């Protein structure tokens, strides 16, 4: 608990909105493991509800073997630049299970950087985001599909600091049940 309190008091240079998704195997466990590993690089201050969504469709990509996704968004503070954070995310994804042999393959974990900003406000939505774009051969921020994925916008609106939820870390009991709001957008 002391480590958690120290990190919450530390000031990090940047803030990120990260989207987690899993559609293979023990989805909740994969997400919790990635969450835990990510904390080595910064501090998670807020999370949205955890929801299920049907797989996205893309012309030319076969998604018939995809199960529904477990999705959520977090507010993450770190001193890592976007390119360095992306490298750490790739390492986490590869460790847990992210198929890179084909585009749009089912995966145990997928973590996308949706947006980034200076860490200069208590709420991400008030942080300075002017000109905070990133484009490399492997990384684009804002995420290229950000405008098309309405469920991400819904999750971002739902993203609340843990102080309001009274949760220092998501436990299995905090994962939404079928009776929770926003649980299943596939139905």
Contact 82, 98 (CB under 8 A): no
Residue 20: the pLDDT is 94
Domains of the chain, earliest start first = 13-174 (3.30.70.560)
Low-confidence ranges of the chain (pLDDT < 70): 1-10, 129-137, 140-147, 160-187
pLDDT (tens digit, 9 = 90+) per residue, 96-111? Answer: 988 777 777 788 999 9
Residue 164: the pLDDT is 46
pTM of the model: 0.76
Q: What phi and psi values does residue 117 have, to the nearest 5 degrees?
A: -160, 170
- Whether the bond between 142 and the residue before it is cis, its omega within 30 degrees of 0, is yes
Q: Closest Cα to residue 73, out of 139, 11, 153, 130?
A: 153
Q: Please state, in angstroms and rounded to a whole number, the distance separating the CA atoms of residues 43 and 170.
A: 14
């Amino acid at each position: 608990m002391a480590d958690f309190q120290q990190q919450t008091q530390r000031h990090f240079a940047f803030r990120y909105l990260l989207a987690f998704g899993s559609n293979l195997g023990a989805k909740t466990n994969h997400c919790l493991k990635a969450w835990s590993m990510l904390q080595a690089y910064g501090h998670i201050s807020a999370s949205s509800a955890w929801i299920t969504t049907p797989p996205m469709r893309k012309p030319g990509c076969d998604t018939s073997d995809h199960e529904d996704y477990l999705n959520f968004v977090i507010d993450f503070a770190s001193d890592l630049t976007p390119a360095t954070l992306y490298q750490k995310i790739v390492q986490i994804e590869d460790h847990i299970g992210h198929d890179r042999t084909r585009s749009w393959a089912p995966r145990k974990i997928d973590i996308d950087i949706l947006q980034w900003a200076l860490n200069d406000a208590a709420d991400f939505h008030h942080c300075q985001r002017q000109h905070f774009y990133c484009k490399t051969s492997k990384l684009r921020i804002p995420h290229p599909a950000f405008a098309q994925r309405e469920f991400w916008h819904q999750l971002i609106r739902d993203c609340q600091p843990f102080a309001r939820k009274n949760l220092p870390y998501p436990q299995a009991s905090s994962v939404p049940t079928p009776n929770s709001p926003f649980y299943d957008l596939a139905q």
